[in-house]
Amino acid sequence: MTDLPEMDVWHSKPLDVHVWSEHPKINQVVNTVYDSLTDDNQTLISGKSNNQGKASGRTHLKVVLVDLYVAWKTDPLLCIGVARGNDAYKVGSRYNALHISNKIRKVIDTLTDEGFIDFRKGSNVRTGSGHGSRTSRMRATKKLTDLFLPIGLELYELDLHHKRECIILNEHDVDDLGEFVKTSTGAKKSKPIDYNNTPETIRMRGELTAYNDLLRETYIDIPTLEEPRISRKVSNKKDQYVSIGQHNKFVRRVFSRGDWNLNGRYYGGWWQQIGKDYRKKISINNMPTVEIDYRGLHVAILSAQRGATNDPVDRYDLGELLLPQFDLKQQRTIVKSLVLTAINAKDQSATYAAFRKDQPTGSLEKKLTNVELSKLLEAFLKRLPHLRDDLCSDKGIELMFIDSQITESIIKSFVEHNIPILSVHDSYIVETHRVKLLRNAMSKATIALVGRDLAVEQEVPGYYDIMNMQHQDRDLYLDAFTNVLSMSDQTDQYQDRLRKFMKYRKDNFHETYWIGKLPVEQ
């Protein structure tokens, strides 16, 4: 193995203080590294005492080494961003369950001095937009990766979420992936808020832990992929890779603005980070899947709250062309995006600005004026006047809480049956033979929480719908079977990944709920 190329400080992931493993191979590497340190550096790491509830020096060392292994296993060129501020690690916080402290800086400095880490100091650009500011970076050197090579553990064989809190109370809003919203300088607006447990938080944590436990033993993949990763664009940044792996399935629930009645959505799992075209190809336990989503959920909830019963079938079709530079189909797409933006915005000006921000550079949509957008919004409200007080009034965060309660109900019903389900806020992915169970759960949830059964959409048929086709339309049946059920385009690499995961489960666990079992209609 040759030395790695120069570190790309922008190709990084943040340090994770909840990675852990008691595997003998990991412990051997930790012991080897520690024993190789000078006496002075061992003393520097270990210190003279373990006071104030802080973790030991060896714990800090293991966390750093395991996370370096995770980065190296993910991509040998991937580096780790390390915050070194005095307030970066809060001992005693529920979001730092391993009690990692500023001692971690001494560990990193020591590993750097001893040649195990390549380290780059952070930078702080104090002028302009702050572009270029970053935390420090570290990456394993050849001296350390030579110790990693014999380990041979897949990332799902480690405990990458050791004692990690899954119920998050945040001070501000979060983005679509549940991450902290940042300022124009790239700084996080807030950190999670510590809170005292209540019967409700204990209940939510227990239910979500049961869901994460189910996901941990569930095999979720995309059979057509040779490499288990997908490239995606992130705003104006470089392409980023989403890891389609069994280690990337942890789900958390995030509440916003310090209020347990705002947001509350389920975030996490690689399926939330990829587009719908890729989600269509997801397999669960080597079975094809179907995605079912609520049709215009937030608008439907608002209409239900207002007691409206006569909404148009297509709420976003204005019935006439108001902007001649577009056709009716394009106009409908614009109206839908505009209305959804208005639900989340605080006023009309913010609505129009946010709409334009989301449009592609150079597009006609990005050039739409406030007058043109107002014309579309007024035409929409003329058809659904009961929504006038709900648009441009920051309702989105409240509606997210309602849809999180719907998701909570659906997930709970599946976990009780030991059946896997994936959520993408207002849509749900299940094995094709679970369609009936999912539709029933979706119906029950909205009747209980909204007061009515809300419409759902399903692009592809389920297993039993396809089976019924063979007696009605043979050609349609063959086409549906080939495109939905056959999974004939599996790569050799997928099959190898599946075999490895099944062997791991068989070798290390008494039973895995799906291995050796035949699917049963629900």
The predicted pLDDT at position 1 comes to: 43
The predicted pLDDT at position 478 comes to: 87
Is this model's pTM higher than 0.85 or not? yes
Residue 472 or 17, more confident? 17
The predicted pLDDT at position 238 comes to: 67
The predicted pLDDT at position 179 comes to: 75
How much is the mean pLDDT over the chain? 93
Distance, in Å, from the CA atom of 405 to the CA atom of 494, rounded to the nearest integer, reads 35
The predicted pLDDT at position 483 comes to: 84
Compute the average pLDDT of residues 335-347. 97
The predicted pLDDT at position 408 comes to: 99
Distance, in Å, from the CA atom of 386 to the CA atom of 342, rounded to the nearest integer, reads 15
Residue 191 or 235, more confident? 191
The two three-digit tokens of residue 64, written as one number? 């750093």
User: What is the three-class DSSP state of 268?
Assistant: strand
Distance, in Å, from the CA atom of 41 to the CA atom of 50, rounded to the nearest integer, reads 17
Beta-bridge partner residues of 82: 136
- How far apart, in Å, are the Cα atoms of 25 and each of 116, 149, 150, 245, 255? 18, 11, 8, 21, 38
Per-residue pLDDT band at 378 (split at 50, 70, 90)? very high
DSSP string, 45-79: HH-S---TTPPPHHHHHHHHHHHHHHHHHH-TT-E
CA nearest neighbour of 379 among 295, 308, 314, 319: 319
Distance, in Å, from the CA atom of 446 to the CA atom of 421, rounded to the nearest integer, reads 18
Cβ-based neighbours of 458, under 8 Å, separated by 6 or more: 290, 291, 292, 435
Greatest extent of the chain over all pairs of C-alpha atoms, in Å = 80
Per-residue pLDDT band at 235 (split at 50, 70, 90)? low
The predicted pLDDT at position 288 comes to: 96
The two three-digit tokens of residue 196, written as one number? 């005292």
Segments of 63-171 assigned E as strands: 79-82, 117-120, 136-140, 167-169
Segments of 371-488 assigned E as strands: 422-423, 427-431, 456-458
In this predicted structure, the answer to whether residue 184 has a pLDDT above a threshold of 70 is no
The two three-digit tokens of residue 447, written as one number? 């009747």
The two three-digit tokens of residue 127, written as one number? 């002028």
Distance, in Å, from the CA atom of 84 to the CA atom of 66, rounded to the nearest integer, reads 19
Distance, in Å, from the CA atom of 399 to the CA atom of 304, rounded to the nearest integer, reads 12
- For 255-280, the pLDDT digits (tens) are 999 999 999 999 999 999 999 999 99
Cβ-based neighbours of 43, under 8 Å, separated by 6 or more: none
94-98, 341-345, 513-517: segment of lowest average pLDDT: 513-517
The predicted pLDDT at position 477 comes to: 82
In this predicted structure, the answer to whether residue 174 has a pLDDT above a threshold of 90 is no
User: What is the three-class DSSP state of 300?
Assistant: helix
- For 15-56, the pLDDT digits (tens) are 999 999 999 999 999 999 999 999 999 999 987 655 555 789
User: What is the three-class DSSP state of 374?
Assistant: helix
How much is the CA Rg of the chain, to the nearest whole Å? Answer: 25
Residue 158 or 478, more confident? 158
Characterize 459-480 residue by residue with b for buried, 16 or more Cβ atoms within 10 angstroms of its Cβ, and e for exposed.
Answer: ebbbbebbeebeeeeeeebeeb
In this predicted structure, the answer to whether residue 186 has a pLDDT above a threshold of 80 is no
Which residue type sits at 343? I
- For 417-429, the pLDDT digits (tens) are 999 999 999 999 9
Distance, in Å, from the CA atom of 137 to the CA atom of 493, rounded to the nearest integer, reads 32
Per-residue pLDDT band at 127 (split at 50, 70, 90)? low
- How far apart, in Å, are the Cα atoms of 94 and each of 202, 289, 320? 13, 36, 55
Characterize 307-344 residue by residue with b for buried, 16 or more Cβ atoms within 10 angstroms of its Cβ, and e for exposed.
Answer: eeeebeeebbbbeeebbeebeeeebbebbbbbbbbbbb
The predicted pLDDT at position 520 comes to: 61
Pairing verdict, β 136-140 and 117-120: antiparallel
Pairing verdict, β 79-82 and 12-14: parallel
Residue 281 or 129, more confident? 281
